[in-house]
Structure 1
Amino acid sequence: MLPVLTVQSSSGDTIDFQVGIILDLRSRDSPVGQIGMSCLSMAYSDFYSLHRDYKTRLVLHVRDSNGSVVDAAAAALHLIQDVKVDAIIGPQKSLQANFVMDLGDRARIPIISFSATSPSLIPQTSYFVQTAQSDADQVQAIASIAEAFQSAFPKSASDDVITKELYKMMSMQTRVFVVHTSQSLGTRVFLKAKEIGMMSEGYAWIVTSGLTDLFNMVDSDVAEAMQGVLGVKPLIPKSKELQSFTSRLIRMFLQADDLDIKPADASVFGLWAYDTLSALAMAAERVGNNGTTSMKNKANVDPRCTFALGISETGPKLLQELLATRFKGLAGEFNLVNGQLKQTPYQIVNIVERAERDVGIWKPSAEVSRITFRTIIWPGDSKVAPRGWEFPANGKKLRIGVPQKPGFNEFLKVETDPSTNRTEVRGYYKDIFDSVMATLPYAIPHEYVPYPFYNPDGSQAGSYNDLVYEVSLQEKYDAAFGDITITANRSIYADFSLPYAEGGVTSIVPIKYEDAHNVFTFLKPLTKELWLTTAIFYFATALAIWILGSRSITASRDSPGQHAGIICYFPFFPGEGIRGSLLCLVLVSWASVANLLNSTYTASLSSRLTVQKLQPTVTDVVQLITNGDYVGCQQGSFLVGFLKNLGFKESRIRTYNSSEDCDKALMLGSKNGGISAYYDVLPHIRILLSRYCGKYMMVGPTYRTDGFAFAFPKGSPAVADISRAIINLTENGIIKEFEQQLSDNSACTVPDNNSSPTSVTLRSFWVLFLITGCVMVTCLLVSQFMYLSKNRPFLQRMSDFKAKILSRADAWSKYLKKSNPSSLPKTTSTGDQLPRS
């Protein structure tokens, strides 16, 4: 055993810095203390042999904590009060450091640990320095392994009863375990795990650096039990200094008769201990060169405790210099960030026989998906990566919950024989579930457990939300399937597979047929807007023809009736010059519109008189809400909340438990105790339309929702494999075949409300009306311009802004009299126009 000794200065000219060391020096369960003390002794000898010119020396005072928190605290208190140390290296364990660091904080003395790796230690006090890699750094590396092999991590075994806990874990689905314990407990765990068959194919074990680092010192039976284990430990860069140190360390342990451990390699904790003492000696030298001594002449009583502690003057400066120390040590770069050794890459090793095979390296900046693993030998001498979970082969079947209800069971019907209490499940969704189970690469023993929606007296006993919640509890059901829609609320409690049936919510309403013998049927081919626009353009065109015609025909004044006749037969007598051409343009453009309207009207009216027109009683949600109509949905579904979100009052929502009840309610209508529209998911809507052929039709938009899926408890490993099986069945067309068989059983074709004729809207003709209007206005403007250019006296008189209103009216009156035609134009036999009268 290494002696508990004090290393003193060899010269009176040097400045002494008192340093306490607290380690577990006699514990066989944890050899870190013995290795650490050996490395500290070697570091002390090597450092001052190399730096003989240093004006400072560390004086080491070693104390054994005996693996006890109380002994570690007592040793620290003695070193602070009596020895008046400037710093303490240790203690070894995190629980010990948790108490000792508080003493160091009160005395302003740095507590430096190379083996206490708990991440909870650093935030507590600035006087605690962690010169080891924190356990938090390992978490990311371990998570990288898990993600790479798609594994799940349960809690590791407890310290109480190893065998009981292992059997409990063996009965679980998880097959990946992380062991983060001391060497003593870890070795016993693996020995027992091998004994009960948990080190066989299909299992995966991962150990943290505390066990990985000390693997070279375990017995042969423990090493045999750990075959195939993956280990994580800090990556130590190779160097000549490290090789020389390792050789000397091993030789020292082999020559020491009083040491019961024989390491075959250098421990990372020993390397951290070596670098820690070197860093502390460098910091002490810089403090000493600044003229500070380790004298502590002041004493003070900390109000937080009942004993007196010497407040160190050197401690804060020593801490400041230590945190600023940077150098390349045996364990790699020594660099403290926020009082903690900077995170470095981790080495992932695979235990095969007595060796640790390097299979991968994790770097802090690397992403999980970019880690490349070499071939790994898993437990059971397997080269196939375990799935990370299995259904336990303990005779327990997976309890599959299936909704049991009197109606809406076209897709899934659940019946229980009261005499035998045997449950029979059949239907479309059951066929899909069986196909999915058959596709999985492993067998899942299961049984169907009914979930009754109604009590024997007819009252509601549960809902789909309740079924999903029961699955999350895993007390009665381990999974569930049926017409279970994925919703945001349900996903809080359970995990769902990919949908195996389409989603979407829509409504159906009763159909009413248009009466073809209605006296106003002749008005139906065109919409009101189109009728109104046609009339406006008819009269506008007639007015334009009259204006243009009055300027093209020179004759005596005629009666208004004669003017109307002129308008009707003027196209056959185009008159003279450009004015007659303008009139023709207006007539031609209007004739084009009139001919198209006439042909369209004729075709639409003929269709209406020969084909029955299907019309919904209600067209949209707004109309239902405005009218205060009642709407219905399936009882126990999510649709009640869905309809409330659409804007319906809860008092206007009625629920039904069978399609027959829905049919009766739709026939009655809102005013007679029924409903005006029924809402449901698309698969059920299609079944209703096919069952009640010709009575209902879908209206309004189809609201997007997720489809039907299998429900599992949160974190269930089966979800991923079942989702992949559903994808395969979809791509292979098997689910499509099931859907086709279901649709073939429908004895009716759903009426299509788009097959009947509809009224022609203004939108179909607005371009033609626009062209006609433009031609008409253009012709009028051209005619007016030509007339005004030939009647300049009139223009001059109209331009006289000083003329009175009566004068302007008189000018207009004479203008109209002058432009009034008197007779039709006359032509000679040769076609020459006769002179005007």
Structure 2
Amino acid sequence: MQASFVISLGDKAQVPIISFTATSPSLGGSYLFRIAQNDSSQAEAISTIIQAFGWSEAVLITIDSEFGLGVTPYLTTALHAVGVRIPYWSVISPMATDDQILVELYKLMKMQTRVFIVHILPSLGFRFFAKAKEVGMMDEGYVWIVTIEKVAGTNFSFQKMNISPNSTYLGRLEVSQSGPQLAREISRTRFKGLSGDFSLIKGQLQSSTFQVINMNDNGERGVGFWTPQNGLVRKLNWNNTSTYSTSNANLGPIIWPGETMSTPKGWDIPAGSNLRVLVPVKMLFKEFVNVTYGPSSHTTTVAGYCIEVFEAVMKTLPYAVSYQFIPFATPNGESAGTYDELVNQVFLGKYDVAVGDISIRANRALYVDFTLPYTESGMSMIVPIKDNNNPRNTWVFLKPLTWDLWVTSGCFFIFIGFVVWVLEHRINEDFRGPPHHQVGTSLWFSFSTMFFAQRERVVSNLARFVVIIWCFVVLILIQSYTASLTSFLTVQQLQPTVTDVNQLMKNGDNVGYQLDSFVYETLKQVGFQEDKLKAFNSTQYLNQLFQDGIENDGISAAFGETPYLKLFLATYCSNYTMVGPSVKANGFGFVFQKGALLTREVSRAITLVREGDVMRHIEDKWFNKNASCSANLNTAAAFTNSLTLGLNSFWGLFLVAGVASSLALVIFVAMFLYENMHTLTCFDSKASLWRRILAVLRVYDQKELNTHTFKKRTLQEAVVHGIGAVESSPNINYSLRSSSNSISNPTESHIVLEELRTPSTERGDLNLNGQATQDAEYSIELASPSEKGTYN
């Protein structure tokens, strides 16, 4: 009150008022120059300290005066800026008695928050902390942050004026003529002091450096500093250009209440109290939560998948937390309401936690906090498995390859057959004969390479080169086709009847949805007609809807949250498969009050439980009733498409085969035209191009008798027709070699003629007994005139 009067007097008289003690930010005037630090300047320093230690909540304790109330808005703003919640604001009267202080302290002890920010006058502060130590609030786990301003070494002197004691002397007070100029000069004052830069902006000393002091029974000890430019620092360095720091590593070691060096976690469960855990009462899907009452209705047992997950999570916490399960039920044991109403009970503060198959929804997260999900997220679709006796499965052998790969393969088989025919026609009897015989032989040769059973032998080096490349391509194709077909035959029994939601809407099929869940509204938003939606409330009824089929007002597919559908598949996996998730969701989570400190700790524990084997054991216990079904729960709807092989996978092989075949053709044509150049040059210059082409083709259709293959063929025919034919034909060239024993016995000298080539059965080559032969080695001995010829 006195400070306000003086400030008002200075404004009217236009006399600058320099204050060294007015720290309340609510005090202000045009001619007030506050040399002391504004209380609000400490707000950012305090919020940085709380942020550095990771505390998420803090309780404000202020005095009920202008001194205390003026700083509260600044503290609140600074704490909210760093994500710190203020669950309670304690206002203590300056005239409070010790008993009133104790009542307030006991109220604070019942809260989970253990971080307190105290902004009160020293006279009240001494009594307050004495009572806090008396009730045990100075023990381990508590954190006290106290605002203290200490200004030392200041000596102000002034010259007394000779003023008459007459009270009417006040009338001589006038408006200062030099006041405005003096105020401007004071505002321009700048210098560097021991604690930093001195400057006044709008009459307020700018926020400067604060020292962080650790106080305990042994006294006070500085552990660091806070500056507006650098944040928390261990030592002051005015040349420091580092970034703003919010790390507690920049502070010295701190001795916390209870004489411990361990940083308090900032919250705790009040001694003697249990977490009130609300659980739903379910009539269906009791595998998640099952509430049973004793015969006398005095004992309650809560079990289920969700309950065991919660218990495993609480055991993972680094400290013990006691809790009590309370069913959300009416006096007669029935459910007391919907899941939204259950969540609302936590919001109203009647319970601390809600545990069960509670979906994390955006509308619920507006007024409660959810932990991380502990189940798979998403809304999935279940459909029946295709009937393996479907006539369409008759053509399953075509599915491993796409249509473009089938067409390309067929074209290349024909192309390779043509190339080999062109290269072998003039020198190989197997590729000669009537046109239909040549076409059949060429196609037979090409397609038989799939089984490497081609009977015809190629004699041209170019043809051999083409066939080798093509056999490599065929080998890769066959192996890939076999592997893909095997996969198709293995998984075709798991193919779903429907994979697309739009197909269901287009066909107008009925679909099922999980009763009392968000699935109904979601399906309507997707576009399903209301009369096409049928609710199911148990796994048995859902199976019956599928069995009825569309003809009997049944369903083609069912939608639900993934955990419920996994429970259904655990029993009926041989008939149905899961497709999805088709609509994203957030899964199940535990519900806490808004801003509860335990939420983050439980979320961290959920992550640890899901990463270990504990969660798998719990799921096996409650869901995998049929062990043979566990392998079929995650069948992918698009698995079939991933097995089909396309042209993109083999175009490189076809490119190599095509280039090799084309190159062989170019080389052959060039050699043929070069060797038969006289055929083209002997024509009259007036001969047409068509006539020239026909002449070249006639030449190409003739045998190339000077090749080694036809020479061997002629020799073979000569051998078959006998010795006389050989002797009487001077135009036949054959090879003779002297037998080794011709030297040793001149009188019995003879000549051995051999044919080592394997004749073709197409020619019907005969041995001396008139029988066809395929692989034979001919040897004829020409004996002396006195001996009879011998044939082998």
Establish whether residue 828 from structure 1 lines up as the match of residue 715 from structure 2: no
Aligned 8 A contact 1:632 1:675 in 2: yes
Written as runs of structure 1 = structure 2, the 5 A alignment for 1:777-796 is: 777-787=662-672
Aligned AA for 1:462?
Answer: T
- Choose 336-345 or 745-754, whichever is displaced more: 745-754
Written as runs of structure 1 = structure 2, the 5 A alignment for 1:354-503 is: 355-364=219-228, 365=230, 366=232, 367-369=245-247, 370-376=249-255, 378=257, 385-393=263-271, 397-415=274-292, 420=297, 423-438=300-315, 440=317, 444-451=321-328, 461-463=337-339, 467-474=342-349, 476-486=350-360, 490-503=364-377
Q: Secondary structure at the match of 1:158?
A: strand
CA distance 1:783–1:668, change in 2 (3 Å): farther
Establish whether residue 207 from structure 1 lines up as the match of residue 207 from structure 2: no
Aligned AA for 1:665?
Answer: L
Establish whether residue 135 from structure 1 lines up as the match of residue 64 from structure 2: no
Q: Secondary structure at the match of 2:324?
A: strand
Shift of 1:510: 0.8
Residue in structure 2 matched with residue 663 of structure 1 by the alignment: 543
Distance of 2:334 and 2:316 partners within structure 1: 41
Distance of 1:173 and 1:609 partners within structure 2: 62
Deviations 1:62-89 (A, max 9, x none): xxx646x4x446xx34x555xx443223
Deviations 1:42-98 (A, max 9, x none): xxxxxxxxxxxxxxxxxxxxxxx646x4x446xx34x555xx443223xxxxxxxxx
Aligned AA for 2:409?
Answer: T
Aligned AA for 1:88?
Answer: I
Q: Secondary structure at the match of 2:495?
A: strand
Root-mean-square deviation (CA, aligned residues, Å) is 5.0
Aligned 8 A contact 2:214 2:254 in 1: no
Distance of 2:434 and 2:378 partners within structure 1: 70
Deviations 1:279-309 (A, max 9, x none): xxxxxxxxxxxxxxxxxxxxxxxxxxxxxx9
Written as runs of structure 1 = structure 2, the 5 A alignment for 1:324-339 is: 324-329=188-193, 333-337=197-201, 339=203
Aligned AA for 2:289?
Answer: L
Residue in structure 1 matched with residue 645 of structure 2 by the alignment: 761
Q: Secondary structure at the match of 1:390?
A: coil
Residue in structure 1 matched with residue 416 of structure 2 by the alignment: 541
Residue in structure 2 matched with residue 114 of structure 1 by the alignment: 20
Aligned 8 A contact 1:414 1:424 in 2: yes
Shift of 1:718: 1.8
Aligned 8 A contact 2:570 2:625 in 1: no
Aligned AA for 1:684?
Answer: Y
Establish whether residue 709 from structure 1 lines up as the match of residue 589 from structure 2: yes
Written as runs of structure 1 = structure 2, the 5 A alignment for 1:143-542 is: 143-151=47-55, 152-156=57-61, 157-159=90-92, 162-163=100-101, 164-187=103-126, 189-190=128-129, 193=132, 198-209=137-148, 213=150, 245=153, 271=154, 274=156, 314-329=178-193, 333-337=197-201, 339-352=203-216, 355-364=219-228, 365=230, 366=232, 367-369=245-247, 370-376=249-255, 378=257, 385-393=263-271, 397-415=274-292, 420=297, 423-438=300-315, 440=317, 444-451=321-328, 461-463=337-339, 467-474=342-349, 476-486=350-360, 490-515=364-389, 520-521=394-395, 523-524=397-398, 526-527=400-401, 529=403, 530-542=405-417
Deviations 1:181-202 (A, max 9, x none): 3344445544554565545554
Q: Secondary structure at the match of 1:368?
A: coil
Shift of 1:564: 2.2
Shift of 1:407: 1.9
Match of 1:561 among 411, 416, 436: 436
Distance of 1:356 and 1:573 partners within structure 2: 105
Residue in structure 2 matched with residue 774 of structure 1 by the alignment: 659
Deviations 1:566-616 (A, max 9, x none): 53688877787xxx3333444444455556666777788799889973321
Aligned 8 A contact 1:633 1:654 in 2: yes
Deviations 1:606-654 (A, max 9, x none): 9988997332102344544554555444344455566678776777665
Q: Percent identity?
A: 37
Distance of 2:529 and 2:59 partners within structure 1: 47
Written as runs of structure 1 = structure 2, the 5 A alignment for 1:729-740 is: 729=609, 733-740=613-620
CA distance 1:697–1:85, change in 2 (3 Å): closer
- Choose 710-719 or 697-706, whichever is displaced more: 697-706
Aligned 8 A contact 1:666 1:676 in 2: yes
CA distance 1:147–1:536, change in 2 (3 Å): same
CA distance 1:738–1:324, change in 2 (3 Å): same
Written as runs of structure 1 = structure 2, the 5 A alignment for 1:782-821 is: 782-787=667-672, 810=690, 814=694, 817-818=697-698, 821=701
Aligned 8 A contact 2:195 2:208 in 1: no
Distance of 2:571 and 2:431 partners within structure 1: 77
Shift of 1:701: 5.9
Distance of 1:180 and 1:735 partners within structure 2: 48
Residue in structure 1 matched with residue 786 of structure 2 by the alignment: none
Q: Secondary structure at the match of 1:135?
A: coil
Distance of 1:361 and 1:519 partners within structure 2: 79
Shift of 1:689: 1.6
Aligned 8 A contact 1:468 1:490 in 2: yes
CA distance 1:332–1:447, change in 2 (3 Å): same
Shift of 1:690: 1.7
Establish whether residue 618 from structure 1 lines up as the match of residue 498 from structure 2: yes
Match of 2:514 among 608, 618, 634: 634
Aligned 8 A contact 1:553 1:824 in 2: no
Aligned 8 A contact 2:294 2:300 in 1: yes
Aligned 8 A contact 1:557 1:822 in 2: no
Aligned 8 A contact 2:369 2:596 in 1: yes
Shift of 1:153: 0.9
Distance of 1:457 and 1:447 partners within structure 2: 19
Aligned AA for 2:20?
Answer: F
Residue in structure 2 matched with residue 88 of structure 1 by the alignment: 17
Distance of 2:33 and 2:701 partners within structure 1: 115
Aligned AA for 1:617?
Answer: T
CA distance 1:173–1:130, change in 2 (3 Å): same
Shift of 1:511: 0.8
CA distance 1:410–1:377, change in 2 (3 Å): closer
Count residues in correspondence.
636
Distance of 2:483 and 2:194 partners within structure 1: 96
Written as runs of structure 1 = structure 2, the 5 A alignment for 1:90-105 is: none
Shift of 1:692: 0.9
Residue in structure 2 matched with residue 693 of structure 1 by the alignment: 573
Aligned AA for 2:16?
Answer: A
Q: Secondary structure at the match of 1:827?
A: helix
Aligned 8 A contact 1:697 1:751 in 2: no
Shift of 1:340: 3.0
Distance of 2:117 and 2:490 partners within structure 1: 78
Q: Secondary structure at the match of 2:662?
A: helix
Written as runs of structure 1 = structure 2, the 5 A alignment for 1:53-68 is: 66=2
Shift of 1:661: 3.2
CA distance 1:824–1:568, change in 2 (3 Å): farther
Q: Secondary structure at the match of 1:142?
A: helix
CA distance 1:543–1:176, change in 2 (3 Å): same
Shift of 1:117: 3.3
CA distance 1:85–1:396, change in 2 (3 Å): same
